Every structure is written in structure tokens, then in C-alpha cells.
Structure 1
Amino acid sequence: MFMEKVSLEPSIMYNVTELNTVASGEEGESTFGKMSYLQPMDTRQYLYCLKPKPEYAEKAGVIKGVTVIGKLDIVWKTNLGERGRLQTSQLQRMAPGYGDIRLSLETIPDTVNLEEPFDIICKITNCSERTMDLVLEMCNTRSVHWCGVSGRQLGKVGPSAFLSLPLKLLSSVQGLQCISGLRLTDTFLKRTYEYDDIAQVCVVCPFLNES
């Protein structure tokens, strides 16, 4: 059969990007070739990237657990030219869990110089249903060193609220280095959350570039 159309219609909470084409000149070409035929007993996978819309992404509890992501619309033709169509019911998937606190990076440089401080901005989101009083601790690793005061108070963060946290660090080793060693402690419950391998940054030696 000839696969005329396979698309994902997202729910109101998501934007979708189709990942079933490759760049070829000005227009994208299907990863399955110019003629999208599906032979008997063949299996094919279609990929889509779903991202929460900004108004929902800021509400940590809205997309928690099982959520409706959208429905598939499939149109095909048989070898005799007969047309068929299948539209699924709303598909449900489990949204990624982040625990009580989600830590993500808002900004980070791709490349930094060896032993020179650089800045990142972390976003801390309270995904729980209670207010937290947070304390930040920074632990150095073999190659990455934090600049600043460890053990400082970040204050209270309400349910589904977030705060942006600018931080400074430097690397003493060249190459692709992992940013690790952040610890957040909720003083209300005396519970500590550890964040390692947050991101990677390429560390280069500026003197080698000049030569």
C-alpha cells in the first residue's frame, strides 16, 4: 500500500515537530524515500517531537503524570487505488517525571576558555504541591570548580513556581566537561536533591588557538 499521509495532531497543550524528513535542497525529503510504499508484513516507525506550549510548561503540575498528547491521522491507498483512512482516538503518554524539584539550564555557552570563569543560568522549578525553603550547595569536581558562596539561602519557592539562578564556574581541564555538583536542600523536610551531569561544555585553551 501507498502511505499518502501520516500526521500527529497534537492536543492543545503541545506543539509538534515532525522528524520524518531529511534536508535535501530547499525542501525536506521523506526518510522513507520518494515513493512511500509499505510492503506486506513491513513495520515502519514515525517520529514526532512534542514540546509543551509556554503557557503550560510554566505550570509544572499541568503536564504531570499521564497526559493526552494528540491523535494520529493516517491515509493510504492500496495497489488497486482504494483509499483508506484511520484516525485514532486521543493517545495518552506518561510525561517525564522530575521529582519534587526540576533543575534545567536556561543559558550556557557552547565553548569556554580553560581556567577562565564563565556564566550559566539555572532554572529551578517547584514541581511539588507544597512550598519549599531552599538552600544551595556547590560541590567542586576534578575538572569543574564553582565560583561563589556555597550554602546560601535561595528563599521560599511556592508550588509550580520557579526562580532563575545565575552561577559562575570555571574548568581546569580541557575537553568536553560535565557540569556537576549542585545540591538543593529543602529546610522544611530536611531533604537534599542532588544534580550531576546537568550539561556538558567544551573547554579549549586560548593560547593554542592563538598559535
Structure 2
Amino acid sequence: MSTGATQGPHSLAFRVMRLCKPSFHVDPPLRIDPFDLLSGEDFSDDPASASLLRRHVSSADALDSDLSYRNRFLINHPTDPIGLSGLLLLPQSFGAIYLGETFCSYISVNNSSTSQVRDVTIKAEIQTERQRILLLDTSKSPVESIRTGGRYDFIVEHDVKELGAHTLVCSALYNDADGERKYLPQFFKFVVANPLSVRTKETTFLEACIENHTKSNLFMDQVDFEPAKQWSALRLHDDDLHPSSLVPPTSDLGGIIPPNPPVIIRSGGGIHNYLYKLVPSSDVSAQTKFQGSSILGKFQITWRTNLGEPGRLQTQQILGAPVSRKEINIRVVEVPTAIHLNRPFSASLNLTNQTDRQLGPFEVSLSQDESQMGKPVAINGLQKLMLPRLEAFGSNDFQLNLIASKLGVQKIAGITAWDTREKKTYELVPEMEIFVESD
């Protein structure tokens, strides 16, 4: 940036202080006996002196004090080991800044020279790897003057939406005592870290594991999963986590304590898991369902720190494992609960066309890779079942008559469908276990 400003010492200087909530002042407890303040450490070794001191102390607690050091480390009150003094501590350093927080800074322009400066134009900007964001610009209404020893103060805020290196650029353009126009830039660098990591596990369900990377506890206000249009998501809750019996309805605290307290994720690596059930949305066409998009959705997360400072984060799109779609799918809808040896039974199945064209007719049978007699479960009666053509994305329910020839846990395997028009065989049903009883 070229301003034609004269190089040299400046009358002005920027001072930056980050504005954030104070922290609790922790004073490590000093475990001593009150008598140690009145006597030496070897006072209790002299029984005569210890007895004399007891007679001169009127406190009931003091009369019970053990001068033999046996009870020095006993905790007499629950607050003793905490070390909270009841005081709040102002920030002692710039501290860590995390994605999703609001960066708030108090900036002061100080005139440390012996003369007044005039027509001061002040700018404050946040510079990242991607963009430069203007936070303050007094170009249209410059500060008329800043006297010797005086200052001009202002506060800037910025919602942090990028990770990595950030620079707070503060600049001033002013006239010094000699009338020279000078330009003063100052740079304050900080790094924005990721407060949370979200790991997902996709099988039948989507599990989000949220881990706290900050140095303070996070109180999760909202963890919502926004599914892609082809999915609908159901959050699975554990009703036993926060039973309503914890706060009786007649309690005076009923209006203060929420029925469902916020989830607390402990500092320094605390983890909480959220479980969602994903099912194909009924609002999209069958064709969209079967295209196998790998985009599942994204998370909207909001939280607060110990003293209520808010944070918010939106993840990128969560991608699931690519799902290969078969042209034909067959599934077992129902089998009898009781299956007896050498007695026929019926299995209910469903055949679905997952393409945008007609398929079939079909011949449903058991594969002939081994002798029919050697199979523990075989088709009873006609070995091939004829099914009509299926329209695009259509389905057909049918019954398959089977018979089991061996006792115990057996497998129904090798059910196939032969497309008589396209001359193509579909291996459809994975092995399914059944239990065969004797009569």
C-alpha cells in the first residue's frame, strides 16, 4: 500500500486488547492449621506449651484442633479443594481463538508525543488467506485531533468463519505537528483453531462423534443434522439420560432448571456422540433415491463456554460411502417363526426394479451349483417360479414354497432371478439363516 507517507518516528501507536469474559480466579488452597499462625512448627512437640495455648484459645473449633498434624489434609468442607476465591480474573493474554466464535477487540490509538495530531483517519481490518474484511473506517468523518497524552478508543467485532492465520491490520493517516501527512500501519497476528472435530460412522445409522479441542468446557446448545434432499434424518435419543424425575414438577426450581440440561463436552478432548437414523425421503422421486448420491447432509452446531460466550459452526457436507445400486433387488419380507423338518413353509419376498426401464419377465429359482438333494433348504414343488414384467421402479410381492431337510441352524442360499428377455441372471438374496425344528 503506497500513501506517500514520510517514514520515521510516529506520534501515534495502537494498543489492542481482546475483549472476552473473565475467568474464575482459582487460588490453590494452603492446607494449614490455624495454630501454625500463632506458634512455631515445633510448638506441638512441647506438651506443656501446647496445653498452655489451648487454655488461652476460646474458640470451640480451636479446642478440638489436633496439634499432632494428624488431620492437616482432611477436607472439612466441599469447597476446600476447589480453590475458587469468588473473584473473577481479567484475561492475562490474547488467548486462543476458535472457529465459530466472535472476535471482539478493544483498540486504543494513543498519542505519546509532545504535540497534538490532527485529521486522523483510522482503519481496522481483518486479513485472512482468502479475503480482507473492513471493520472500521473513519475516512468520511476523521477524528479532528488527539491531544498530547490523549487517545481515541473503539471496539471492533468479527464473526470468525475461517481457519488458520489471521491478521488484525490497524492503520492511521494523520497530520503531525509539522503538518506532514504520515501513515502508520500496525499488524496483530493470531491463529484461528478448530474447536471441534466431527467424525461420522455410516452403516445403517450416522454417528457423529464431537470432540472438544478447546481448554474450556463447551455447553452444546444445538447439534442439528440437516440431511440432503434425498434423505430424512431422525435423531435417536436415550430417554433415560435426563428422566423427568430429576426435577419434581412441584419443585421451586422447575422454572429455573431446564427439563433437558445442555450436553457438556469436557475441555481438552471430551467427546459426545450423536446418533441419527437416515432413511430415504418420501418427498423425492424413486429415481432420485436410487441414483446413489454420496452426500448425506451437514451439521449446524452452536455452543456456549463457561461464562456464556456463544460459538457456532457449520460443517462441510458429510459424504457417505458410495452406494452401488443393483438393477434388480430382492428381499425377504417374512419367514415363519417355526420351521419344521421336512414340512413345507412359505417365505414372503419382494422383487424391485431399480432402473428407469421395464425388466422381465423373470424366472425365480435356486442356483444349480450343487445337487438339489444336498441342499438343506430347497424349493418345494416346481423348481422355477414365473413372475411378470416389472415397470420402471416397480415392485412385486410373491411367495416361494420351501422345505428344510436338516435340523438346526440352516441357510437359505442361492435364490436367483433370470430375466428371460435380456438373458441375464441376477444373484439377489444373500444367505439367510433359519432354525429348523423336529416335529
Name the TM-score, length of structure 2 as normaliser.
0.39
SS, match of residue 274 in structure 2: coil
Letter in 2 for 1:17: L
Report which of the two structures shows the higher radius of gyration computed on alpha carbons.
Answer: 2
Q: Which residue does the alignment assign to 1:135? A: 363
Q: Which runs of 5+ in 2 are unaligned?
A: 1-217, 245-261
Letter in 1 for 2:302: V
* Matching residue within 279, 282, 286 for 1:51: 279
Equivalent pair of 2:330/2:429 in contact (CA under 8 Å): no
Q: Which residue does the alignment assign to 2:437? A: 204
Q: Which residue does the alignment assign to 1:86? A: 313
CA displacement at 1:182 relative to structure 2: 0.9
Say whether 1:190 aligns with 2:414: no
Letter in 1 for 2:226: E
SS, match of residue 430 in structure 2: coil
Q: Which residue does the alignment assign to 2:268? A: 40
Q: What pairs with 1:79-158 in structure 2 (closer than 5 Å)?
A: 79-88=306-315, 91-93=318-320, 96-133=323-360, 134-139=362-367, 142-158=375-391
CA displacement at 1:4 relative to structure 2: 3.5
CA-to-aligned-CA distance 1:44-96 (integer Å, 9 cap, x gap): 54332211245658x25533221553332222222333222223465454563
Count of residue pairs brought into register by the alignment: 199
Q: Give distance in 1, aligned partners of 2:325 and 2:396.
A: 16
Equivalent pair of 2:294/2:321 in contact (CA under 8 Å): yes
CA displacement at 1:163 relative to structure 2: 0.9
Equivalent pair of 2:292/2:325 in contact (CA under 8 Å): no
Q: Which residue does the alignment assign to 1:77? A: 304
Q: Which runs of 5+ in 1 are unaligned?
A: 28-33, 207-211
Equivalent pair of 1:146/1:168 in contact (CA under 8 Å): yes
Say whether 1:14 aligns with 2:14: no
Equivalent pair of 2:379/2:403 in contact (CA under 8 Å): yes
Name the TM-score, length of structure 1 as normaliser.
0.74
Equivalent pair of 1:14/1:69 in contact (CA under 8 Å): yes
Q: Which residue does the alignment assign to 1:5? A: 222
SS, match of residue 21 in structure 1: coil
CA displacement at 1:144 relative to structure 2: 1.2
CA displacement at 1:7 relative to structure 2: 2.8
Greater RCO (CA < 8 Å, at least 6 residues apart) = 1
Q: Give distance in 2, aligned partners of 1:177 and 1:144.
A: 7
Q: Give distance in 2, aligned partners of 1:113 and 1:55.
A: 43
Q: Which residue does the alignment assign to 1:164? A: 397
Equivalent pair of 1:107/1:120 in contact (CA under 8 Å): yes
Moved more, 69-78 or 41-50: 41-50
Q: Which residue does the alignment assign to 2:162? A: none
CA-to-aligned-CA distance 1:164-205 (integer Å, 9 cap, x gap): 111121222333332212111122332111234343323333
Equivalent pair of 1:60/1:125 in contact (CA under 8 Å): no
Q: Output the aligned Cα RMSD.
A: 3.2
Equivalent pair of 1:111/1:201 in contact (CA under 8 Å): no
